[in-house]
Amino acid sequence: MSEWWTYSLSDFLMFSSRSYYRLIESYNAAIWPAHLLALVAGVIVLGAIARPRQHLQRSAALVLAAAWGWVAWAYHLERYAEINTAAPYFAAAFAVQALLLCWLAYRPGNAAPAPQPLAFGLSGLAILAYPLLALARDGGTWRQAEVFGIVPDPTVVATMGVLLAWRAPAIFWLIPVSWCLVSCATLMELKIGHAWLLPALALTAVLAAIMVSKKPRDLNSTADPRS
Amino acid sequence: MPPTSPSRRHLLASMIAASGGLALSPLLAAAPPAPLLTRPIPSSGEQLPVIGLGSWITFNVGRDPQGRRESVDVMRQFFAGGGRLVDSSPMYGSAQDVIGEAVQALKPARLFSADKVWVSGGARGMAQVEASRKLWRVPRFDLLQVHNLLSWEEHLPILLAIKREGRLRYVGITTSEGRRHAEIEKIMASQPIDFVQISYNALDRDVEQRILPLARERKIGVIVNRPFRQGDLTQALAGKPLPGWAADIGCTTWAQALLKFIVSHPAVTCAIPATSSVAHVRENLLAGTGRMPDEALRKRIAQDVERLA
């Protein structure tokens, strides 16, 4: 298997930026108006960060699990696999993360966290601002907008915000951070200007998570019995 | 070649406009003014046009109907202009199926189908080749190559046996971007292969030292991939004025000059630029016509490209 070491990153980029964004455009057109549902789901996630209640936390974790599951099937397996032979592996990773998020929703001893401005900002950026990147890209149109719950990148960023807010253990971060690196490498090879954005957001989230983990938990913020 | 390169398109349009003010589309639909030059395949003497068609990235368009239509148009223009060799691989995503769709629609009479086997272990090789053949919609392949030498020790004996049985016409090996040249040389020296596919252009000229001379010595055909460094070279030269020598060999664009540099090497059988643009296909095919640079001019082209790129 020594042959595999001779490949470079560019060898695995099998498609042009035109094919990539056209795929997102046709995917968006095929599933519209699911984007409106995704926006509602995004608002639930933001609400769970802004108002830490255990029932909201559980709902948000299940919303995120559904989003990861949907992206695994509808995006990676059904669409992206047409132009990227690695997409089925991405789908498997996203499915695993969906299961982890289900576990996060129901695992015993969950603590409702205090509001986290940075976590809210990260998820808010992913849910509300990320679609606008399509307009900032040279030649991009709103039809190619990348929407939370529909395509991977904003889904991953929104999830990192939630993981940060809930002080999720490292295992929950593994796949989102790995995807940020994969997506960055892809966008860099496609020469997309905002390729740096995803790893920068991941680094911010991970550093913040490390800092937060060193602070003692506020016992007063444990699950609200009224929830 | 990148799917979109406004500078090249602009240059071509300017050239056409300057040559008589004709509308772009009718002239682009016309045949090349001179016949496409051919080179004999060293092992058989069969003539092959010096410009082929690659499919890496450009034909991997998934199910996108527009992308597929454009790919069929590219192949239509390629065959209409005298092209024959189309190269692909199981590694190229949907490219094989896109080629198959075009083959089914166009029914090219003189297609030279070149594909690859790219799987670990010889046992799975023939199943992959059969799957590829179905995607191409061809009765058999003309040339099968071991892609990037992956499991070549197992694949090559099988491919050579199939060739002996008359079910395959030619066998080859491939590499790109200068990888594993020592092993390529070893195989060229020891195995009865018909083709070697390598990366070669005015900047990446390592193969001139040993591989190209060895190909001549062993009567092995040479297919050249990445003639424009996946578009980076034409982009780097975009906007730089063509030196005076370009007119002497009938070049009006850098892409043509770069291709003429490659196919004028006596060991090279053909270059396989990939494109999703009909205008670029025609531009590439024009590079396979007319006067070619001699050795002195080839050196000068390499120097100028190195200086300007």
How many residues can be counted in chain B?
Answer: 309
Least confident of A6-15, A33-42, A129-138, B283-292: A6-15
B149 to chain A: which residues are within 8 Å by CB?
A: 3
A26 contacts B91? CB cut-off 8 A: no
Question: Cα separation of A161 and A164, whole Å?
Answer: 5
pLDDT at B215: 98
> Does the structure show a pLDDT above 50 at A90?
yes
- Supply the CATH number for residue B217's domain: 3.20.20.100
Please identify which residue in the block is written with the tokens 């092995």: B220
Three-class SS of residue B198? strand
Assigned domain for B20 exists: no
Mean pLDDT of the region A139-156: 95
Assigned domain for B140 exists: yes
- What's the order of all strands across the beta sheet hosting B112-117? B85-87, B112-117, B143-146, B170-174, B195-199, B221-225, B270-271
Question: The tokens of A39 are what?
Answer: 């926006």
B120 contacts A6? CB cut-off 8 A: no
> Does the structure show a pLDDT above 80 at A9?
no
Residue B186: which residues within 8 A CB-CB, separation 6 or more? none
Amino acid at A59: S
pLDDT at A2: 54
| pLDDT confidence tier of residue A114, bands split at 50, 70 and 90 | low
Q: Let me know: does B17 contact B291? Beta carbons within 8 Å.
A: no
Q: Could you report the per-residue pLDDT of B92-139, keeping only the tens digit for each?
A: 999 999 999 999 999 999 999 999 999 998 889 999 999 999 999 999
Measured in angstroms, the CA of A83 and the nearest CA of chain B are apart by 5
Question: Cα separation of A185 and A191, whole Å?
Answer: 10
Assigned domain for B175 exists: yes
> Helix B278-286 vs helix B254-263: angle between axes, to the nearest 10 degrees?
50
Assigned domain for B75 exists: yes
Question: Cα separation of A31 and A180, whole Å?
Answer: 24
| pLDDT confidence tier of residue A58, bands split at 50, 70 and 90 | confident
For B146, which residue in chain A has the nearest alpha carbon?
A: A3
> Does the structure show a pLDDT above 80 at A39?
yes
pLDDT at B5: 39
Sign of CA dihedral B58, B64, B70, B72: positive
Three-class SS of residue A149? coil
B276 contacts A14? CB cut-off 8 A: no
Least confident of A49-58, A165-174, B109-118, B148-157: A49-58
Assigned domain for B16 exists: no
The alpha carbon of A14 is separated from its chain's Cα centroid by a whole number of angstroms, namely 23
Question: The tokens of A95 are what?
Answer: 């499915």
User: What is the residue-level pLDDT of chain B in tens, covering all 309 positions?
Assistant: 333 333 444 444 434 333 333 333 444 444 445 789 999 999 999 999 999 999 999 999 999 999 999 999 999 999 999 999 999 999 999 999 999 999 999 999 999 999 999 999 888 999 999 999 999 999 999 999 999 999 999 999 999 999 999 999 999 999 988 888 999 999 999 999 999 999 999 999 999 999 999 999 999 999 999 999 988 899 999 989 999 999 999 999 999 999 999 999 999 999 999 999 999 999 999 999 999 999 999 999 999 999 998
A16 contacts B57? CB cut-off 8 A: yes
A85 to chain B: which residues are within 8 Å by CB?
A: 91, 93
Instruction: State the pairing for strand pair B47-49/B38-40.
Output: antiparallel
Please identify which residue in the block is written with the tokens 């989003």: A67
pTM across the whole model: 0.85
Assigned domain for B273 exists: yes
Mean pLDDT of the region A114-122: 84
Tell me the CB-side half-sphere exposure of residue A78, using CA atoms within 13 A.
Answer: 15
Mean pLDDT of the region A30-48: 94
B62 contacts A23? CB cut-off 8 A: yes
pLDDT at A35: 95
The mean of the pLDDT values for chain A is: 88
Higher pLDDT, B132 or A13: B132
Residue B122 contacts A, CB cutoff 8 Å: no
What is the b/e burial string over B180-219, where b = at least 16 CB atoms within 10 angstroms of the residue's CB?
beeebeebbeeeebbbbbbbbbbebeebeeebbebbeebe
Assigned domain for B32 exists: no
Distances (CA, A) of B31 to A89, A113, A147, B26, B83: 46, 71, 46, 10, 12
Q: How many domains does chain B have?
A: 1
Among B64, B94, B180, beta carbon nearest to A22: B64
Taking any CB pair shorter than 8 Å as contact, residues of chain A touching chain B are: 1, 3, 6-8, 10-11, 13-16, 18-19, 22-23, 26, 79, 82-85
Higher pLDDT, B4 or A158: A158
Mean pLDDT of the region A82-90: 95
Which B residues, 245 through 274, put their C-beta within 8 Å of a C-beta on chain A? none
B91 contacts A85? CB cut-off 8 A: yes
A3 to chain B: which residues are within 8 Å by CB?
A: 148-151
Domain that holds residue B273: 37-308
Assigned domain for B9 exists: no
Predicted ipTM beyond 0.85: no
